[in-house]
Amino acid sequence: MPLIDIGRKVPDFTLESDDGSSWTLSEQRGITVLFVYPQDDTPGCTTEACAFRDLASELASMGAQAVGLSPDDGDSHRKFIKKHRLNLRLLVDRKDKTGAPKIAAKIGAWGEKMNYGKTYVGLIRMTYVIAPDRTVLMRFDRVKATGHAERVVESLRRSLDSKKK
């Protein structure tokens, strides 16, 4: 599926959260920073998740929360959270019969990528900043883990500050 453009709505979805509860996008009252990552407890994914962890209070001060999405199961998410003391939700994006994570495929985070000169299909690291009405406020495509959370927070701060003026 194609990426969702800024100003368009993300299709509503409900997924299992790391604690076994259901998490529904349309039920979120603040801004959701949905970061899509390939796999729990790998170097890049740990860097990204820990950065969002460290910026959680800053996001909260702007009425936002970071939420991770990957195809890992709830048990993997719980271990990842415990090991790295993560203070954010991680959603279980189960794969369909083709092997694609259902929501990642719907929002353009599943597709062709290259690693060490080889092309393959897989999860594409990206982030959507989503308003409570599910409108995409910002989109960060094919991101590098290091420094990404900081760029998201700074972009969101600038955007919110410019709307106050």
Does residue 99 lie in a domain region?
yes
The whole-number pLDDT of residue 106 equals 95
Does residue 162 lie in a domain region?
no
Tens of pLDDT, residue by residue over 22-55, are 999 999 999 999 999 999 999 999 999 999 999 9
How many percent of the chain have pLDDT more than 90? 85
Does residue 145 lie in a domain region?
yes
Task: Provide the pLDDT confidence category of residue 1 given band limits of 50, 70 and 90.
Answer: low
Does residue 32 lie in a domain region?
yes
Tens of pLDDT, residue by residue over 55-103, are 999 999 999 999 999 999 999 999 999 999 999 999 999 999 999 999 9
Does residue 163 lie in a domain region?
no
DSSP letter string, 116-157: TTEEEEEE--EEEEE-TTSBEEEEE-S--STTHHHHHHHHHH
The whole-number pLDDT of residue 84 equals 98
Task: Indicate which CATH number applies to the domain containing 29.
Answer: 3.40.30.10
Q: Which residues on adjacent β-strands are paired with residue 46?
A: none
Does residue 35 lie in a domain region?
yes
For residue 100, the tally of other CB atoms under 10 A from its CB is 20
Residue 98, domain extent? 14-153
Task: Tell me, yes or no, if the pTM score tops 0.85.
Answer: yes
Number of domains the chain contains: 1
The token pair at 10 is: 């993300």
Does residue 3 lie in a domain region?
no
Helices 43-54 and 148-164: angle between axes, nearest 10 degrees:
30
In whole numbers, what is the pLDDT of the chain averaged over residues?
94
The whole-number pLDDT of residue 114 equals 79
Catalytic residues: 45
Does residue 161 lie in a domain region?
no
